[in-house]
């Protein structure tokens, strides 16, 4: 890769393609277009693009995705268009069996538009998965300390189904690529939702540990899985290599890190990974449109800072994030953290300026906590921490 003028080698590589950020079903879908483009523009405005090598990425191929998905599902995705979905009953039935299109849950009668059949769906999948795969391969080649794909992190997709805005699981594809060189890979998921698709894919794989922090209410909060007792199959080869840290809505920085740091420190001790994948879903930020966690940008980025401090090959992926100005600030700041550069709070003038007006053009936007106790460790959380630590003791034994 390129050498900077001062002879220093760049430690961070980054993937961006202009066509990857979009999903638009014309009905105001949550996986709002532009988040990744806005992040990219902000990186440019702060001058951070020059501090990274840019990965030239060709889209993934169907072959690349076979490690994570069934042939049947991939063929469906490859041939699906909004027109076919609309006019061909067989195609529609097949799509709905794989949770694509408008799906009604028979049990609840609840109609979901989570995984719409959009234009260029297959192309979109190949591109974001290609980004994560290429980023993983850059780490495998040993060229960089950190590799970034903010358009990846689609952690819900199953081997034969779409779920929660995720069509193909680029995380699974990337982790499998890392396993070709690294003995043990740790997956950490700070998206506000449970990383169920990744957890399921590696349920039987002792070389991969998955840890998800997420909002959880034991009721309807999507996807509904990820209780603290969910540690993988008892007696299975990978038991306790699944960890879940359920959090109450309203959890802020202080409370979050009273769990995150001690738990991750212990994970590092007992699992001793050779590489780390961090899904940086930004819907755990305060003020998100669809979730209730209350991290600040600094609080969210502290997860990266903490894991970065172990100096292992680190793959940073995106994920959720539905208040787009917050998402862009978060991922821009986190890119700076990965590079190891301080950037000013004042957002520089650039093409997407107006999106940041409501936050006074500050990267570290102010958000008033909803719950006065957002920073007090509750009894319930203390119990979650203790339970997780006990699980980890079993792994070390």
List contacts with Ca ion (CB under 5 A). 189, 191, 195, 212, 214
- Name the residue whose CB lies closest to ligand TV1: 320
229 binds, options ligand TV1, Zn ion, Ca ion, none, Cβ within 5 to 8 A by partner type: none
Nearer residue to Ca ion within complex by CB, 76 or 175: 175
CB of 5 to Zn ion, least distance (A): 40
Give the CA distances from residue 243 to residues 5, 247, 313, in Å, rounded to whole numbers and listed in that order.
44, 13, 21
189 binds, options Ca ion, Zn ion, ligand TV1, none, Cβ within 5 to 8 A by partner type: Ca ion
Nearer residue to Ca ion within complex by CB, 117 or 327: 327
Query: Contact residues for ligand TV1 (CB under 6 A)?
Result: 27-30, 105, 110, 112-114, 154-156, 164-166, 191, 193, 222, 281, 283, 290, 319-320
Residue 145, Cβ density class (10 Å: 0-12 exposed, 13-18 middle, ≥19 buried): middle
DSSP per-residue letters across 252-280: BHHHHHHHHHHHHHHHHHHH--SEEEEE-
Please list the residues that pair with 317 across neighbouring strands: 149, 279
Catalytic residues, by residue number, are: 156
Nearer residue to Zn ion within complex by CB, 299 or 320: 320
Q: Does the bond joining 223 to the residue before it have cis omega, within 30 degrees of 0?
A: yes
Name which of 148, 174, 129 is nearest 316 in CA terms.
Answer: 148
Name which of 220, 52, 76 is nearest 138 in CA terms.
Answer: 52
Nearer residue to ligand TV1 within complex by CB, 51 or 294: 294
105 binds, options Ca ion, Zn ion, ligand TV1, none, Cβ within 5 to 8 A by partner type: ligand TV1
214 binds, options ligand TV1, Zn ion, Ca ion, none, Cβ within 5 to 8 A by partner type: Ca ion
Q: Decide if 212 contacts 194 (C-beta within 8 A).
A: yes
Please list the residues that pair with 275 across neighbouring strands: 185
| Residue 31 DSSP class | S
CA distance 194 to 149: 20
212 binds, options Zn ion, Ca ion, ligand TV1, none, Cβ within 5 to 8 A by partner type: Ca ion
CB of 192 to Zn ion, least distance (A): 5
Binding mask 171-210 for Zn ion (x = CB under 5 A): --------------------xxx-----------------
- Name the residue whose CB lies closest to Zn ion: 320
CB of 20 to ligand TV1, least distance (A): 14
Nearer residue to ligand TV1 within complex by CB, 10 or 127: 127
Give the CA distances from residue 371 to residues 213, 240, 259, 285, 296, in Å, rounded to whole numbers and listed in that order.
19, 33, 18, 14, 14
Strands 101-104, 111-115: pairing kind: antiparallel
CB of 164 to Zn ion, least distance (A): 7
Asked if 214 touches Zn ion (CB under 5 A), the answer is no
CB of 147 to Ca ion, least distance (A): 20
**Residue of 51, 189, 200, 283 that binds Zn ion (CB under 5 A):** 283
CA distance 129 to 115: 17
Cβ count within 10 A of residue 222? 18
**Residues engaged in binding Zn ion (CB under 5 A):** 191-193, 281, 283, 320
């Amino acid at each position: 890769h390129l050498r900077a003028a001062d002879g220093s080698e760049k430690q961070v590589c980054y993937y961006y393609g202009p066509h990857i950020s979009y999903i638009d079903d014309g009905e105001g879908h949550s996986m709002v277009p532009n988040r990744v483009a806005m992040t990219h523009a902000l990186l440019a405005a702060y001058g951070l693009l020059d501090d990274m090598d840019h990965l030239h990425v060709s889209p993934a191929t169907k072959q690349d995705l076979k490690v994570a998905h069934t042939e049947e599902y991939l063929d469906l995705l490859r041939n699906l268009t909004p027109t076919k979905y609309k006019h061909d009953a067989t195609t529609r039935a097949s799509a709905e069996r794989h949770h694509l299109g408008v799906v009604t849950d028979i049990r609840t009668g609840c109609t979901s538009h989570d995984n719409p059949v959009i234009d260029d769906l297959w192309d979109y999948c190949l591109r974001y998965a290609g980004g994560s795969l290429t980023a993983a391969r850059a780490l495998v080649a040993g060229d960089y300390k950190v590799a970034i794909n903010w358009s990846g992190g689609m952690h819900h997709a199953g081997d034969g189904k779409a779920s929660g805005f995720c069509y193909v699981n680029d995380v699974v594809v990337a982790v499998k690529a890392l396993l070709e060189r690294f003995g043990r890979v740790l997956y950490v998921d700070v998206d506000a939702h449970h990383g169920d698709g990744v957890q399921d894919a590696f349920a039987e794989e002792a070389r991969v540990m998955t840890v998800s922090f997420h909002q959880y209410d034991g009721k309807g909060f999507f996807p509904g899985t990820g209780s603290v007792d969910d540690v993988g199959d008892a007696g299975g080869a990978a038991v306790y290599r699944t960890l879940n840290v359920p959090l109450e809505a309203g959890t802020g920085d202080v409370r979050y890190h009273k769990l995150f740091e001690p738990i991750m420190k212990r994970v590092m001790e007992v699992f001793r990974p050779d590489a780390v994948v961090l899904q940086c879903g930004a819907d755990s930020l305060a003020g998100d449109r669809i979730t209730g966690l209350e991290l600040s940008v600094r609080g969210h980025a502290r997860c990266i800072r903490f894991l970065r401090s172990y100096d292992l090959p680190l793959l940073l992926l995106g994920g959720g994030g539905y208040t787009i100005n917050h998402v862009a600030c978060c991922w821009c700041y986190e890119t700076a953290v990965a590079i190891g550069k301080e950037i000013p709070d004042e957002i520089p003038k650039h093409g997407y300026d107006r999106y940041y007006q409501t936050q006074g053009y500050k990267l570290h936007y102010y958000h008033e906590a909803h719950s006065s106790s957002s920073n007090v460790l509750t009894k319930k959380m203390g119990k979650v921490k203790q339970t997780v630590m006990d699980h980890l003791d079993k792994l070390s034994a």
